[in-house]
Chain A
Amino acid sequence: MTLLPSPLTQHGQILIVDDSQTKRLKMSMAVKQIGHDVTVIGDGDEALKLIKTQKFDLILLDIYMPKMNGFELLAHLKSDGRYRDIPIIVISSSEAMDDIVQAIKLGAEDFLPSDFNLELLEARLEACLERKRLQDKDKDTLLQLDRLAKAAEHLDQDGLNPKNLDIIDIAERKDAIGNLAFVFLNKSIDVYNRFQHSRQQIVTLKGVFLLLIVGLCFGLRPVLGNLLSNSEYSASNLAVLTSSLTTVFLLIACFISNRRLKLEFSSDTMKKILIWSLVGTVVPIYLLLSVSGHISGIAMSLIMVLEAVAAAIIAGLSGVASVTPRKFTGILIALAGCIWIFLPDLRQNGAFGDIFWIGLAVFVPLAYAIKNVMVGNYFKSFSSALNAQVYVMLLTTFIFIFVSLFEGDFRVPLEPVGSFHYSILLFSLADATAYFLLLKLVTSAGSVFASQKAYTVVLSGLLWSVVILGENLSVNSLPAIAIIIFGVYLVGQKAKLVSPLRKRVLAPQQAVDL
């Protein structure tokens, strides 16, 4: 094995213990000549205290001292695991062979005659320090091997971040152990990346499934809104009925999934709930129920596509997500598709509905997009978001009751149960289900990904419009719908969890040296 350049040939911390001031001074001058750092002390007791607080590479020790003599200090140090490895050279006259033998028996590495010369001092010091260096290196290697063994035990744990293996410093060694640590590290990065990739795929798949269900539920709203708006109830009255029922359904869902409803909120959370209620719920529901009677179910469904575009723009402007060229292109394509569909209709002033109501309907997806970005940012856990959603719906119900009373036409549907009641029930159930699943989506995959529900909402809206309302979808509109969906696809993104870790590469100069 090739040794590392010796750090101690540059510097060693040497402690000189001798009760004679003149001898201490002589030795200190000589040791400094060789290039080491020196600390001197004249007493065995004091030396022991100093060794406990300061690190030394070697001790030069006189034997005959008052209080604690050299033998006693030697015995102390060699019996303590913390200091056993510090090499000790005893200073003795060459004639005192008994003293030298006793010191060696007690664990001294070597002896130095008191009338030493510079060459002899240097030879003895370097020999001892070199042994210490090898000893330290072996000890360090054993400790690192122990850490590698522990890391190997955790190697197959899927979710373990390789950074937590604590072997990165070992992998920087330029020898076989360093190479082994590199292999371990790369292997753990492989395992980790595979696990994260699978997790991402599962989340994306779950996300796509949730998108479909959310789309089917939300897609029902424009269609049912259209049906409900034909009744004799005002928009605010309808909103009271649907939002109160939605609140009940959400409350049940909250108890089933959380088993409790948090009653205390900070003033900051209350403020967020109020904004969410007004911007993200009251405005879109009121608008939806108001415009539904004036534009077709297909038109409303198509307008809902703007939610994805608006979410991407808002997220980009607020710094939540970046607007890449791909997303920007997607926004333009989706808008072009909308214009393609609506332009001929507007010229003919025909089937989709009045331009004023179409313009007003645009604020519905816009409000939903603002809400999605807000919820994704404010509420990081599903349970806290669901909890807040219950309060949002409760607040929304009260606001609609107030609006309805203000408008002076609030009525309770006491007529015999019929299609109107079923529509209200279905609208509320679809709403509650969609909110529940959407919160799951927003808190797990992010608001931008969740906003891609827009195209499933559009597709299901078109489906429900044809199936429930019996509206006709012209063949000429189909390419435009495809363009819109393609545009929204470009705007959207995969649910992203953790960036994959880069594998470490063994440098060419890092040859394994045995």
Chain B
Amino acid sequence: MEYKTELVDKQKLTQLLELIGDDLGSLRELIDSFLIDGPELLGAMKEGAKSLNAEVIRRSAHTLKSTSKDFGIQHVSKLSAVLEEKCRVEDLDKCDGMISEIDAEYRKGIAELEVLYAELNEE
């Protein structure tokens, strides 16, 4: 899937920063938490795909959808929403591929997120 939008929506990230009181230290804490949560959720999705457990994939996709949206990582959020919906109707076709794509987008998104955080820190 190709996206023309930027990897991380800077406006969303700014909204998140406002929500937590414009405290960059708290944002760092949140990013660090997401760095642990994200791979765990992706791991759970992969496990679910292996065991053909649509519910596990759906729940993980649901969580990743909303957390990545909070950080403005739009591609991951949108892909996760599609995957969640597929799993809701128990359509596991091409799930493996989607999970790999989400994983790749997550990595790119995280890299971009770190760049944006560094920029915010310099401002």
Contacts and interface: CB of A to CB of B under 8 A. Distances in A.
B28 to A, nearest CB: 11
A23 B26 CA distance: 13
A174 B98 CA distance: 65
B63 A23 contact: yes
Interface in B53-87: 58-59, 62-63, 65-67, 69-70
Given A33-B21, A64-B62, A118-B18, A23 B69 contact: no
A25 B19 contact: no
B29 A114 contact: no
A472 interface: no
Interface stretch (B32-40, B89-97, B100-108, B112-120): B32-40
A348 interface: no
B30 interface: yes
A446 to B, nearest CB: 72
Nearest to B66: A114
Interface in A197-245: none
A30 B34 contact: no
A22 interface: yes
A19 B15 contact: no
B69 A115 contact: yes
A114 B77 CA distance: 12
Contact of A115 (B20, B30, B66): B66
B26 A29 contact: yes
A21 B23 CA distance: 19
Given A25-B33, A114-B69, A115-B69, A20 B20 contact: no
B16 interface: yes
A66 B18 CA distance: 30
A117 interface: yes
B20 A26 contact: yes
A78 to B, nearest CB: 23
B19 A21 contact: no
A23 B69 CA distance: 11
B20 A29 contact: yes
A359 B34 CA distance: 106
B19 A117 contact: yes
A93 interface: yes
Interface of B: 15-16, 18-21, 23, 26, 29-30, 33-34, 36-37, 58-59, 62-63, 65-67, 69-70
Interface of A: 19-23, 25-26, 29-30, 33, 64-66, 93, 114-118
28 contacts: A19-B63, A20-B37, A20-B67, A22-B33, A22-B70, A23-B66, A23-B67, A23-B70, A25-B29, A25-B30, A26-B16, A26-B70, A29-B19, A29-B21, A29-B23, A29-B26, A30-B20, A33-B19, A64-B58, A66-B59, A93-B66, A114-B66, A114-B69, A115-B69, A115-B70, A116-B19, A117-B15, A117-B19
Given A25-B30, A33-B19, A64-B62, 8 more contacts: A22-B33, A22-B34, A23-B66, A26-B30, A29-B19, A64-B58, A93-B65, A118-B18
